[in-house]
Chains A and B, each alone.
Chain A
Amino acid sequence: MVVLRQIKNEFKELVVNPAILGVIILPIFMSKVVTYAMKGIEAGFLLLCVWILFAEVMVGIMLTGPNLIEERESKTFDALLCTPLTYGKIIVSKCVPILICSLFSQIMVFVVNEGINSKLPSLLGIMLLGGTVFVEIGAIIGLLIESSKTGSAISAMVMVALYLVVSVYPSLPKWTYSIFMILPSVEVVEVMNALINSQGILWKEVGLLSAWFVILTGAIFFIGKKKY
């Protein structure tokens, strides 16, 4: 109950902030503009998947990291720790609203480009898993970095690196895929692309992404145990 109340409070805080709304809406808007501009180019569904990934990394990393750093910098994190909320519940109440925003942004990227069709439900699972992994990456940055300025810079660097790599790897020799597939952004795009093209589930990539989820969750709790 306490967590739900806090999630509600956090969510309200997010959606009344115009800058945060901008981060959520930007991928939706940009995906439509760029997809329209590239109409003549044979990019197929891969381009759409890349835009969904953009929504995942942008919202997940850019909102979670700085949000947590601000909470720690202003010491409100300490104040919350002296309430019935535990460290784990604080993290959950911070991350869940951002995950909801991430899912909204991802779904809207799909809808404005493809409309509501039967492919959308099949993507929800990977949107949720991918979204969670990037929110967790943001959370780790938020828990490890001490200042807002550094945190924003590192969040931006990680976001751009994870996003850019998906534009690069398809043009590289095939054997390099076995290296790139370790990255969560590549896994997300590959799984989504296969699902949209009705090629079934890429179990190896889903397994690797799930492994990221487990590792990152463990890392968040390890940091909590050490620091709080």
Chain B
Amino acid sequence: MIELKQVTKRFKNKAVVNNVSYSIKEGEIFGLIGPNGAGKTTSIRMMTALLEPTEGEIYINGMKVAKNNKKLFEQIGVVFELPNLYRKSSIRKNLKIFADLYGVKDSRIDEVMEDFQLTDKQDMRVEKLSKGWKQRVLIARAVLHNPKVLFLDEPTSGLDPNTQELIRRYIEKINQNGTTIVITTHDMNEVERLCHSVGFMYQGNLAKKGNLKEIIQEYKEANKGADISLANIFAIITGGELS
């Protein structure tokens, strides 16, 4: 479904992502985790063609990720770390702009607004919304066209528990409907709840990748059956560096 082949991204000779290769299966929720500056956002930007790899290639559904690949962009949805919405426009207007670009009907806008409990606030200007409500709009915008792959860059970071729960349930719901999801997060409980497989990024390298349960089992066995959490594994891999 998603395949990264020896991908490297350098900025001024510094490798932010260094010779990374992995694949993500169809219908999987893949957690890309690691401390700040590990290369997670850069990886997502490359997977969504916002950045071109210095070396290597990325494929989604057999299509090479490249700018101007119209077919690719019809199949992916992206939720960015920053709330990049039209601040002066209403929630509905923000969704309508993107619905028009995908040729999506207004009834679908109503549907996603319902999913994110935005219907009552649809005429409010985005600049008047709190972070949590903006995040709902961002995700609603990204799923308008029912993408096959959804990229979420820290979707629940800094949100209240209710909004976090709403978003997590929505992620589970669309994944059950077949959407492949790539998520970056610092919340290890979230990873344990949502993800089928994970990739630990550290200093631009893919330090560990695999099935979440198998990784936890592997570390348990290595630590003589001790009760080990994903947060412990994270600490081991990153040398105790706090994220």
Contact = CB atoms under 8 A, between A and B. Distances in A.
B101 A85 contact: yes
Interface string A77-103: 011111111110000000000000000
Interface in A51-89: 74-76, 78-87
Contacts of B141: 79
Given A83-B98, A83-B102, A85-B101, A78 B80 contact: yes
In which size bucket is the chain A interface? 20 to 34
Interface residues of B, number: 26
A140 to B, nearest CB: 20
Interface stretch (B71-79, B165-173, B175-183, B187-195): B71-79
B85 interface: yes
Contacts of B89: 13
A2 interface: yes
Nearest to B51: A228
Contacts of A13: 89
Contacts of A210: none
Interface in B31-64: 48-50
A84 B62 CA distance: 18
B78 A82 contact: yes
Given A5-B100, A75-B84, A76-B86, A87 B78 contact: no
B97 interface: yes
A84 B103 CA distance: 10
B86 to A, nearest CB: 6
For B67, B82, B84, B102, which residue has the most chain A Cβ atoms within 10 angstroms?
B84
Contacts of B70: 84, 86
Given A9-B97, A87-B67, A82 B73 contact: yes
B86 A75 contact: no
Contact of A76 (B49, B77, B84, B96): B84
A206 B180 CA distance: 55
A5 B141 CA distance: 17
Contact of A78 (B50, B67, B103): B50
Nearest to B138: A79
A6 interface: yes
A82 B74 contact: no
B10 to A, nearest CB: 16
5 contacts: A1-B103, A5-B101, A9-B100, A80-B101, A83-B102
Given A78-B50, A82-B50, A86-B68, 16 more contacts: A5-B100, A6-B101, A13-B89, A74-B84, A74-B86, A75-B82, A79-B78, A79-B80, A79-B84, A79-B98, A81-B50, A82-B48, A82-B77, A83-B73, A83-B101, A84-B70
